[in-house]
Amino acid sequence: MSGRIPKQFIDDLLLRVDIVDLIDSHLPLKKTGGNFVARCPFHTEKTPSFNVNRNRQIFHCFGCGASGNAISFLMDFSHLDFVEAVEDLAAFVGVEVPKAATDKADYASKQDNSHIYQALEDASAFYTAQLRSPEGKKAVEYLKRRGVSAEIARRYSLGYAPDKWDALLNRYDQKTLLEAGLLVSRDDGKTYDRFRNRLMFPIRDKRKRVIGFGGRVLDDSLPKYLNSPETAAFSKGKELYGLCELLENHSRPAQILIVEGYMDVIALAQFGVDNAVAALGTATSKAHLDLLFRFAPELVFCFDGDSAGRQAAWKATETALPCLRDGRQIKIMLLPQTQDPDTLIRAEGITAFKERIVNAHVLSDYFFEQSSSSLNLNTVEGRSQLLAAAKPQLEKMPGGFFRDMMLARLEELSGIRFLKADRPKTPAQSIKRPIVLQKSNLMRRIVALLLQFPHLARHIEQHAGFVAALDMPGTELLRDVLTVIAGAKPENSAVLLESYRDSAHAKAVTALSNLVLDIPEGGEENEFRGALNQLLKQEREKRMSALIDKVSRGEPLSADETAEYKTGGKL
């Protein structure tokens, strides 16, 4: 659940933070009764349905269902992974995240890098200032020739690296600059600036930190583009240019366009297409796609129409298949030969360009077209070649309706019906299934009360034996919640919810933690005792009825059953 971060620290952190203060710093809240409300940041609405509860330290939207604690809010609102959200929350309350003793070396790499991020931020500011200097005029002229406005240049913090070997070297700490990838160290020990006489593109992560740079030459020298090397702050296989700027304008984009270069992103933004990102000098990876699918349900690959572009499109298709599951879609858009997004949108205009996006191949069609384009499916040989090429690729897809339909399409094209045993299996039997509770029953209300007011668990301790013997829908979840409360001793719902992150019961727990109970403030004790007594009464009557039936049939009772029978069903 917590990965490298100690669980106790996470629990203490959730107790330190006031979720109202946290969310209000990102989203203005208004007090209404005992709660705080706002228009939900996760879906479009006119009437506020986003509620924040200070006592329970959780949020819930009655419109879209988004809910959770302070960590969940940061993950959803700022598009962070779990560790990043904990780090941001720790910074918000002014504490440092400790590293777990079992993983010191790995976690230390995420710690103590603030000096690197600061150096990169300072370098970005320096390059931006240089763009406005007399020497930076040639970079400005280049941008003007490419039709890039001052507004777009500011939005993407474009800059200029002076044509000097020591522009940064003489300004900042040399060791830090080396760690940040801004200097190059020669074998003889001498160092010099990595970027010289280049138009600079700062690369920001989704937390808006500068993590590296791309630099484009302003003449015919090589390499045309130069990227930052791998550093403690930058991994090009996991980051995408333009994602930070995209999310600033669209926190939940309906679609993300994946292009090949920095200038493609810039040129499209100039024409109002501000949902484009670019890989950083490497092929789009599964990590890239999984990251983008966290923000948008549809991705569109945009490739040049030449041979290299078609090869890249097929490689992207193979990479994408393991990422596809129900609710996700990928399109492949191949441009006319000799055109790139920059030149095409200037030649055709934005309307025609957007029409190309709408009419792009969906990945399923593209996959089968490319897989069978050189084959004669009227022959056994052709169909067998299709099966040999396509089936292993499709079996990499996660289970679901989409994979089933892709396999069905392959069956249709090949004329061969797969045996059921031949289909990829999902180990459903080995997965612990979450408990689903029926609506409006007593057990559901008791579990909901425990999740919303964990301290109520003390009222059930004297009935531990009875609860252990319960046999009715929802009992397994009740026992699990009681076990977690006994172990974690959570002081509020936020801490208890965190114990269920990534659990098989997470969905049921989240739903019940937001169940509207309609009880007066401070009335949870009486409500819980009353509900528990009613449950115990029902179970006693059920057990006593079973014992009476057993006696009436002349069946012997065990010693425990005899004692229970004599006490009227009490254990």
The string of DSSP codes covering 32-73 is ETTEEEE--TTS--SS--EEEETTTTEEEETTT--EE-HHHH
Do 500 and 457 lie in one domain? The reply is: yes
Do 64 and 119 lie in one domain? The reply is: no
Q: Examine residue 404 and state whether it is found in any structural domain, yes or no.
A: yes
Specify the pLDDT at position 460.
85
**What CATH number is given to the structural domain containing 123?**
3.90.980.10
**What CATH number is given to the structural domain containing 46?**
3.90.580.10
Do 28 and 87 lie in one domain? The reply is: yes
At what angle are helices 341-348 and 350-358 packed, to 10 degrees?
Answer: 120
pTM > 0.75: yes or no: no
In angstroms, rounded to a whole number, what is the distance separating the alpha carbons of residues 412 and 379? 14
Average pLDDT, the chain: 87
Q: What is the pLDDT of residues 308-347, one digit of tens each?
A: 888 989 999 999 999 888 788 999 999 998 888 989 999 9
In angstroms, rounded to a whole number, what is the distance separating the alpha carbons of residues 172 and 161? 15
Which of 349, 367, 385 terminates a domain? The answer is: 367
In angstroms, rounded to a whole number, what is the distance separating the alpha carbons of residues 197 and 136? 9
Question: Average pLDDT, stretch 528-541?
Answer: 84
The sheet with strand 58-61 has its strands ordered as 30-32, 35-38, 50-53, 58-61, 67-68
The structure tokens listed for 85 are: 């959200």
Specify the pLDDT at position 564.
65
Q: Examine residue 435 and state whether it is found in any structural domain, yes or no.
A: no
Please report the beta strands in 224-352, taking only residues with DSSP state E, as ranges in sequence order.
225-227, 240-241, 255-259, 276-279, 298-303, 329-334
Q: What is the pLDDT of residues 19-53, one digit of tens each?
A: 999 999 888 899 988 889 999 988 888 889 999 99
Q: What is the pLDDT of residues 458-517, one digit of tens each?
A: 888 777 777 777 777 888 899 899 999 998 889 899 999 999 998 989 999 999 998 888
Q: Examine residue 433 and state whether it is found in any structural domain, yes or no.
A: no
Do 249 and 356 lie in one domain? The reply is: yes
Do 154 and 44 lie in one domain? The reply is: no
In angstroms, rounded to a whole number, what is the distance separating the alpha carbons of residues 527 and 510? 21
Domain count, the chain: 5
Which residues lie below 8 Å from residue 511, measured CB to CB, with a gap of 6+?
none
Do 473 and 498 lie in one domain? The reply is: yes
Do 194 and 253 lie in one domain? The reply is: no
What torsion do the CA atoms of 176, 180, 184, 189 make, to the nearest 10 degrees?
30
**What CATH number is given to the structural domain containing 393?**
1.20.50
In angstroms, rounded to a whole number, what is the distance separating the alpha carbons of residues 365 and 333? 12
Do 273 and 356 lie in one domain? The reply is: yes
Length of the chain, in residues = 571
Do 170 and 208 lie in one domain? The reply is: yes
Which of 82, 105, 128 terminates a domain? The answer is: 105
Is 138 in a helix, a strand, or coil? Answer: helix
Q: What is the pLDDT of residues 387-420, one digit of tens each?
A: 999 999 999 988 888 888 999 999 999 988 864 5
Do 77 and 128 lie in one domain? The reply is: no
Placement of tokens 């055109």 in the chain: 339
Cβ burial 9-21 (10 Å sphere, 16+ → b, else e): bbbebbeebebbe
Residue type, 302: C
Do 411 and 453 lie in one domain? The reply is: no
Q: What is the pLDDT of residues 153-208, one digit of tens each?
A: 999 999 999 999 999 998 889 999 999 999 999 888 899 999 999 999 999 998 88
Which of 199, 227, 255 terminates a domain? The answer is: 227
At what angle are helices 262-270 and 341-348 packed, to 10 degrees?
Answer: 20
Q: Examine residue 234 and state whether it is found in any structural domain, yes or no.
A: no
Question: Average pLDDT, stretch 433-445?
Answer: 60
Q: Examine residue 571 and state whether it is found in any structural domain, yes or no.
A: no
Q: Examine residue 250 and state whether it is found in any structural domain, yes or no.
A: yes
Do 216 and 251 lie in one domain? The reply is: no
Task: Give residue 394's domain range.
Answer: 374-426
